[in-house]
């Protein structure tokens, strides 16, 4: 049977549901528009409602998962109500899912290097007003360090904010830098006092059979959908 999605391996409460779709899921195909077919997604995962899909621009905006916010500019979407499905789409950028140990709030975050540098992860956690000790974070499929070459200006942005970010960069053969989005996200979460961090096990660039990749596929590409919601059984 063809694998169409993966589920986070994390200790979220049972009523917190979360998935990332894969290349063979049918919810996205190779095209110029980087579309997610929400109706197909509802059918694939038996979703309680159509997901709220935001227009991602590498901002620090986090919006509630309400119908009026469909396609609004943001890079995180959250909910404290049952059956409101939060969704981000990625194809090398890092999707981050957030909940708390009680499972009373959920969020999906789109974190490319620009969003990470701007602070989208801490901004989202602050918006949720969660105590760090209660936060559970899952790092979904993203491009990994051996495949992700960036320029000096990218590294300098992170080092200016936190010298500890140096550990997330190693020199590349092209006199540039190989960056780890996973390590940067972990550093930012740890700096906030979050210790329950999971995931970071996949590479979108090297695992072409399962994932779409901006750097691997180019502009004609699809996207993975990473989504989270709370079911009625609180």
Q: pTM here?
A: 0.96
Q: Helix, strand, or coil here: 75?
A: coil
Q: Which domains does the chain have, with CATH numbers?
A: 5-143+196-230 (3.60.140.10)
Q: Which two tokens stand for residue 76?
A: 């995180």
> CA–CA separation, 182 vs 154, rounded Å?
15
Average pLDDT over residues 206-218: 93
CB 28 within 8 A of CB 224: yes
- Take residue 117 and report the two structure tokens written for it: 């540098």
pLDDT, one tens digit per residue, over 126-175 is: 999 999 999 999 999 999 999 999 999 999 999 999 999 999 999 999 99
How would residue 233 be classed by pLDDT, with cut points 50, 70 and 90?
A: low
Q: Report the candidate in 182, 59, 197 with the shortest Cα–Cα distance to residue 118.
A: 59
SS3 114: helix
pLDDT tens string 181-201: 999 999 999 999 999 999 999
- Could you tell me how far CA 101 lies from the centroid of its own chain? 19
């Amino acid at each position: 049977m063809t694998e169409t999605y993966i589920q986070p391996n994390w200790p979220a409460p049972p009523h917190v549901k979360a998935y990332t779709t894969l290349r063979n899921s049918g919810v996205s195909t190779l095209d110029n528009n980087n579309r997610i077919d929400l109706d197909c997604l509802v059918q694939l995962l038996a979703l309680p409602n159509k997901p709220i899909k935001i227009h991602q621009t590498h901002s620090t905006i986090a919006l509630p998962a309400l119908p009026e916010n469909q396609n609004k500019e943001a890079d995180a979407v959250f909910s404290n109500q049952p059956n409101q499905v939060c969704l981000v789409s990625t194809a090398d950028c890092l999707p981050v899912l957030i909940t708390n140990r009680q499972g009373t709030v959920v969020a999906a975050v789109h974190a490319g290097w620009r969003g990470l540098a701007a602070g989208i992860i801490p901004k989202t956690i602050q918006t949720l007003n969660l105590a760090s000790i209660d936060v559970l974070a899952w790092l979904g499929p993203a491009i990994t360090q051996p495949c992700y070459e960036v320029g000096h200006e990218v590294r300098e942005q992170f080092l200016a904010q936190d010298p500890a970010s140096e550990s997330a960069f190693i020199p590349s053969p092209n006199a540039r830098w190989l960056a780890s989005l996973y390590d940067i996200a972990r550093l930012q979460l740890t700096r906030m006092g979050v210790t329950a961090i999971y995931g970071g096990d996949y590479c979108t660039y090297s695992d072409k059979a399962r994932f779409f990749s901006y750097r691997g596929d180019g502009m004609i590409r699809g996207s993975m959908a990473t989504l989270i919601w709370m079911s009625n059984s609180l």
